[in-house]
Amino acid sequence: MFAFLREWIQEIVILLVLATFIDLALPNSSLKKYVDYTVGLILLLLLLTPVLKLINSELDVSTRLASAEQHSGRAMVTAVEPLSDKSAWLAYNLVLEARVAQLAEEIDIIQSATATVTVDQNSASPSYGNPTTIELTVALRKPLAESDSGEQIRRQLSDKLRTTYGLETIQVRIHIKR
């Protein structure tokens, strides 16, 4: 590390001495500004050398972990699995649930909504990737009248979800918090 730092500083000093010598040797002409510009670019690249080496160096994590395991005498986790299909489906479900809740909250009387969505994960199915069931729990801004069972809200939500996702009304369950 210190050898690299010493070598790097030597290169900078050599370039600055060389640039000063060239600057003094050239007369004041239009060529001088191009030489100064070129020397400035070379100096900038030389100053960025440690950053470029850090970016270009490959970190061999498995070798470092193996040496740490050997040194400490304890096993460490060495395998990192890539994202699985399960993770992708989970992320897709979360996005769908957020979108369904947002669609429900677009109705004026609904204050908040939470959704649980089941997605068809069978790749042979014609509805692959589509929601198969939606369970929606909504909280209203104001309480319903005693005589009102909330059927109008359920129908409105069912119609909105059916047109958005192409679902049958049987696939949508709506619960209203009282």
Helix (H, G, I), strand (E, B) or coil at 132: strand
pLDDT for res 56 = 62
pLDDT for res 81 = 53
Shared domain check, 41 and 111:
no
Shared domain check, 145 and 93:
yes
What is the value of pTM for the model shown? Answer: 0.50
Instruction: Assess if residue 156 is contained within a domain.
Output: yes
Shared domain check, 52 and 128:
no
Q: Which of residues 16, 41, 72 is at a domain's end?
A: 72
Q: Which of residues 72, 103, 125 is at a domain's end?
A: 72
Shared domain check, 146 and 92:
yes
If you ran DSSP here, which 8-state letter would residue 76 be given?
Answer: -
d(CA 146, CA 1): 78
* pLDDT, one tens digit for every residue, the chain (178 residues): 678 888 888 988 998 998 888 888 888 778 888 888 888 899 898 888 887 776 665 455 556 566 666 766 665 554 555 556 777 788 888 888 888 888 888 888 888 899 888 888 888 888 787 888 888 899 888 877 765 667 888 888 888 888 887 766 558 888 888 6
Instruction: Assess if residue 79 is contained within a domain.
Output: no
Helix spans in the chain (H): 2-25, 30-47, 49-56, 61-72, 85-105, 151-165
From its phi and psi, is residue 8 left (phi > 0), alpha (psi between -120 and 50) or beta? alpha
d(CA 174, CA 156): 11
Please enumerate in sequence order all residues whose Cβ is within 8 A of that of 118, keeping only pairs 6 or more positions apart, or say none.
131, 132, 133, 134
- Rg of the chain over all Cα atoms, to the nearest angstrom: 33
Shared domain check, 62 and 30:
yes
Based on the structure, what is the number of domains in the chain?
Answer: 2
Instruction: Assess if residue 77 is contained within a domain.
Output: no
Shared domain check, 45 and 20:
yes
Instruction: Assess if residue 33 is contained within a domain.
Output: yes
Instruction: Assess if residue 8 is contained within a domain.
Output: yes
CA distances, 4 to each of 10, 11, 46 (Å): 10, 11, 13
Shared domain check, 97 and 47:
no
User: What is the residue range of 11's domain?
Assistant: 2-72
pLDDT for res 165 = 75
Shared domain check, 63 and 93:
no
Shared domain check, 90 and 67:
no
Helix (H, G, I), strand (E, B) or coil at 177: strand
CA distances, 8 to each of 14, 95, 102, 136 (Å): 10, 50, 57, 64
pLDDT for res 61 = 55
Instruction: Assess if residue 32 is contained within a domain.
Output: yes
Shared domain check, 173 and 89:
yes
Shared domain check, 93 and 170:
yes
d(CA 49, CA 4): 11
Instruction: Assess if residue 129 is contained within a domain.
Output: yes
- 34 φ, ψ (degrees, to nearest 5): -70, -40
CATH classification at residue 103: 3.30.300.30
